[in-house]
Structure 1
Amino acid sequence: MTFQQPPQVSELMPALKEWFDSPLGQELIAAEHKLLEQVLPTLFGYHLLQVGVDNRLPMFAASPVPHRILLGPALELGMDKRAIVARSNELPVDGESMDVVLLHHALDFAENPHQTLREAARVLRPGGHLVIVGFNPASLWGVFRVLKRRRQVPWLAHFIRHGRLQDWLSLLELTEVKAVSGLYAPPFESARRRDRCGWIRHLVQRAPAESGAALLVVARKDVPGMTPLRSPWRRKLINLPVIEPKPTARGHLQRNKR
């Protein structure tokens, strides 16, 4: 699959921040938080890494994982103290060191989405979980994107199909365990127009497939890890009491003759 390359994420940062701050962007973030609240409380471990496009948007509030790191593409004022700056396709993290990796629209705006996914799989420990949040092309937003000029945020994002994502996960030995979606309203900038289209929202919500604007996919890394060998088992001998034979009459006579 060939992707039309969007500009570098660092170049899109001002436009992305402005769009996420808009009423439509805030509605999307609220819907994504609700989806994550269904999933993150069930994923346990010690280390969580969020790879995103806006360091102001930590999405892991519902996670029970104690050590959480936020990775973004550019240095910003007011960044979270747990945030680091790096590229999503070159994560400065040791392999198999994370229990949960959360990709928040990282694939949508990546230069090479498959390489970003490969890096996420590399740093995930065996048995760990990958959580992907992105735009769903099988939604009203996907239809709107086809009709809209793709030079504006967020419509120039990749909008990766769920089926394509499943193929990539399979190649990286990751098993999908859950897929949910949310936000069924059309992407009108006016809240009044979105409210007037409530009948469309209810109609799309009843669709058999995941048809919300935000798609959340959870996958598990099923590659078995290395198990340290135990030290060889040593047999422990038990000292049993030795029963001395009692002298017989014949033996007593032989000793007297001597």
Structure 2
Amino acid sequence: MSFHKQAPLEILLPQLKAWFDTELGKELLEAESAVVDGLLQGLYGVHLAQFSIDSRVQLFSQSQVSHCFSLVPQMELGMADNCIVADNAEVPLAHESVDVVVLHHALDFTASPHQVLREASRILRPGGHVLIVGFNPLSYWGMYRFCWRKKALPPWSGHFISHGRLSDWLKLLELTELRHLSGYHRLPFESGRWRKRLGFIGGLAKRGPGHSGAFSVLLARKDIAGMTPLRSGWGLRRLISLPVAEPSTRGSLKENS
């Protein structure tokens, strides 16, 4: 399955950061944070990893998980201490080492969205949760992107992956979808005055059936381990093993047999 070709990340990232700094970008981030906060408050564990495209955006402030950190694609000045520089399609974390994974537009801006989701599933422990935030093609924003000529500019250069396609990927990775939400129904005008003036259109979409917000959020759970764990070898030595408490009863069955 193919996606349109995007500019290299080193070119896209400054443009994305500049767009998220606009009034429209800030409004979208605020709406995304509100939805993600409500979902994260019910998820628990030791480690939470956020696959990020902007190191400044960390959506886990309301998380109950003990240790939260971000995976970012490149080193940046002023980057927080809880950031790890890594390719989202090849994450240097051990198999089944994370309790919660948050993908913040990580599938929208990558050459291989399915591989990024596969990496998220690989590092997720059985019973853990993955939370996917992405642009919704079945929205006013999706229509605007389809009609606008300057699709090479972010955020319109994103993949805008449909809920149906994401659901198929989740099933292939043996992840069970639990929730599907969407938010921010205002039109994608840069002018705040026009967004407010035409706010009644967004209100109609919000009250209508289906999920028609600018972004969608999927919550899924890894019920069974569907990936083959990495065995001993050169590949395993490159991975970061997160500290996990060892159960005190390990080996007791063998000793008592």
Tell me which amino acid in the other structure corresponds to 2:157.
L
Distance 1:123 1:232, change over 3 A: closer
Determine if contact 1:135/1:214 at 8 Å carries over to the other structure: yes
CA distance in structure 1 between the aligned counterparts of 2:57 and 2:37, rounded to whole angstroms: 15
Match of 2:153 in 1: 152
CA distance in structure 2 between the aligned counterparts of 1:92 and 1:233, rounded to whole angstroms: 35
Q: 3-state DSSP class of the match of 2:41?
A: helix
Q: Deviations over 1:225-252 (max 9, x none)?
A: 9x967516969xxxxxxxxxxxxxxxxx
CA distance in structure 2 between the aligned counterparts of 1:89 and 1:186, rounded to whole angstroms: 32
Match of 2:95 in 1: 95
Which runs of structure 1 show a deviation greater than 4 angstroms over 4 or more consecutive aligned residues?
A: 227-230, 232-235
Tell me which amino acid in the other structure corresponds to 2:198.
C
CA distance in structure 1 between the aligned counterparts of 2:193 and 2:204, rounded to whole angstroms: 19
CA drift of 1:222 comes to: 0.6
Q: Deviations over 1:30-81 (max 9, x none)?
A: 0000101210000000000000100011111110111011111111111010
CA distance in structure 1 between the aligned counterparts of 2:45 and 2:19, rounded to whole angstroms: 33
Match of 2:213 in 1: 212
Map 1:73-222 to 2 at 5 A: 73-149=73-149, 150-222=151-223
CA drift of 1:8 comes to: 2.1
Tell me which amino acid in the other structure corresponds to 2:126.
P
Q: 3-state DSSP class of the match of 2:118?
A: helix
CA distance in structure 2 between the aligned counterparts of 1:229 and 1:198, rounded to whole angstroms: 63
Identical positions, percent: 49
Q: Deviations over 1:73-92 (max 9, x none)?
A: 11111101000111110001
CA drift of 1:10 comes to: 2.2
Unpaired segments ≥5 residues, structure 2: 227-246
Determine if contact 2:187/2:199 at 8 Å carries over to the other structure: no
Q: 3-state DSSP class of the match of 1:99?
A: strand
CA distance in structure 1 between the aligned counterparts of 2:225 and 2:184, rounded to whole angstroms: 37
Unpaired segments ≥5 residues, structure 1: 236-258
Determine if contact 1:47/1:68 at 8 Å carries over to the other structure: yes
Determine if contact 2:37/2:59 at 8 Å carries over to the other structure: no
Q: 3-state DSSP class of the match of 1:180?
A: strand
- 2:253 aligns with one of 231, 237, 242: 231
CA distance in structure 2 between the aligned counterparts of 1:177 and 1:156, rounded to whole angstroms: 28
Determine if contact 1:9/1:53 at 8 Å carries over to the other structure: no
CA distance in structure 2 between the aligned counterparts of 1:26 and 1:211, rounded to whole angstroms: 19
Determine if contact 1:184/1:204 at 8 Å carries over to the other structure: yes
Match of 2:230 in 1: none
CA drift of 1:106 comes to: 0.2
Q: 3-state DSSP class of the match of 1:87?
A: coil
Q: Given the two structures, how large is their TM-score scaled by the length of structure 1? A: 0.87
CA drift of 1:214 comes to: 1.2
Q: 3-state DSSP class of the match of 1:231?
A: helix
